[in-house]
C-alpha cells in the first residue's frame, strides 16, 4: 500500500496546504513572463487546472491498469506506476526553480496516472496474493493505505513541517518518497499466483 493506494490519498490531501502559495506563484510567474498582472479569473482558472487535472490522470491510469497488469504482471505493473510518480515529483519540485506553473499542472497529471494505476493494481495484487482466510482483511488494506496517505499529506502540509512559502515545492514532490520505498522493496515480493497460472501458464511458479 505504500506505493499503491497511499499515493492516491497523499495527492488528494497534499494540495490543500500550499494553495495560497501556488496561486501567488502563478501570479508572479505571469507578471514576469507577460509584464502584466493576471486577472483573478485567470489565476482561478490555472488553479482549477492544477487541482482537476489529477482526476484526468487518474482516469488514464485506471484505464491502463487492466492492460498493464495482464501484460507485465501485477508486481511489475506496480513498479511501473512509480515512473509517473517520480516524474511528477521532479516536475512539481523543480517548477519554482524553472519559473513554470505549467510544470505543476503536468506533474499533477502524472501523479494522477500513478494514483489510478496504484489504487487499482494494489487491490488486484493484494487480493490475489492473500490466503483465502485473509483475503477480506487484505482487501481492506487499500482503504487503510488511502487514509494513511491522506494523513501523511495533511501532516506534511502543516506550517511546522513543509506548509510554508519556501518549502511548498518540496511538499509537492513528497510523493517521491513512497515511490522510492516501493522501488526498493517490491522486487523482493512474489508475483501474483493467479497471474502466473492463468496469464503465464506457469503452474510450478504458481504453486
Does position 2 have pLDDT exceeding 90, yes or no?
Answer: no
DSSP single-letter state for residue 101: T
In a domain, 139, yes or no: yes
| Helix axis angle, 102-129 to 135-156, nearest 10° | 160
Percent of the chain whose pLDDT exceeds 70: 100
Q: How many CB atoms lie within 10 A of CB 204?
A: 7
For 148-188, the pLDDT digits (tens) are 999 999 999 998 999 899 999 999 999 999 999 999 999 99
What domain count does the chain have? 1
CATH number at residue 129: 1.20.1250.20
Q: What is the pTM of this model?
A: 0.92
Q: Distance between CA atoms of 31 and 200, rounded to whole angstroms?
A: 56
Provide the grid cell at 108. Answer: 499533477
Does position 104 have pLDDT exceeding 90, yes or no?
Answer: yes
In a domain, 205, yes or no: no
Per-residue confidence (pLDDT) for residue 30, from 0 to 100: 94
Does position 139 have pLDDT exceeding 90, yes or no?
Answer: no
In a domain, 17, yes or no: yes
In a domain, 69, yes or no: yes
Residues 6+ apart with CB under 8 A from 62: 116, 117, 119, 120
In a domain, 181, yes or no: yes
In a domain, 207, yes or no: no
Domain ranges, residue 191: 2-199
Provide the grid cell at 124. Answer: 488486484
CB 122 within 8 A of CB 78: yes
Provide the grid cell at 152. Answer: 501523511
In a domain, 206, yes or no: no
| Sign for the pseudo-dihedral over CA of 90, 94, 95, 100 | negative
In a domain, 93, yes or no: yes
Q: Distance between CA atoms of 166 and 171, rounded to whole angstroms?
A: 10
Amino acid at each position: 500500500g505504500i506505493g499503491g493506494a497511499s499515493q492516491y490519498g497523499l495527492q488528494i490531501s497534499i494540495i490543500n496546504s500550499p494553495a495560497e502559495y501556488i496561486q501567488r506563484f502563478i501570479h508572479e510567474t505571469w507578471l514576469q513572463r507577460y509584464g502584466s498582472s493576471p486577472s483573478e479569473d485567470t489565476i482561478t482558472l490555472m488553479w482549477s487546472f492544477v487541482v482537476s487535472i489529477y482526476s484526468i490522470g487518474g482516469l488514464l491510469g485506471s484505464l491502463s491498469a487492466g492492460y498493464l497488469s495482464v501484460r507485465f504482471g501485477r508486481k511489475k505493473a506496480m513498479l511501473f506506476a512509480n515512473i509517473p510518480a517520480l516524474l511528477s515529483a521532479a516536475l512539481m519540485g523543480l517548477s519554482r526553480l524553472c519559473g513554470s506553473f505549467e510544470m505543476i499542472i503536468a506533474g499533477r497529471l502524472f501523479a494522477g496516472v500513478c494514483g489510478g494505476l496504484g489504487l487499482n493494481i494494489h487491490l488486484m495484487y493484494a487480493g490475489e496474493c492473500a490466503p483465502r482466510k485473509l483475503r477480506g482483511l487484505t482487501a481492506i488494506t487499500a482503504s487503510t493505505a488511502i487514509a494513511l496517505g491522506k494523513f501523511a499529506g495533511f501532516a506534511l502540509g502543516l506550517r511546522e513541517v513543509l506548509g510554508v512559502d519556501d518549502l511548498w515545492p518540496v511538499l509537492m514532490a513528497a510523493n517521491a518518497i513512497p515511490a522510492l520505498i516501493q522501488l526498493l522493496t517490491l522486487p523482493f515480493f512474489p508475483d501474483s499466483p493467479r497471474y502466473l497460472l492463468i496469464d503465464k501458464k506457469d503452474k510450478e511458479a504458481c504453486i
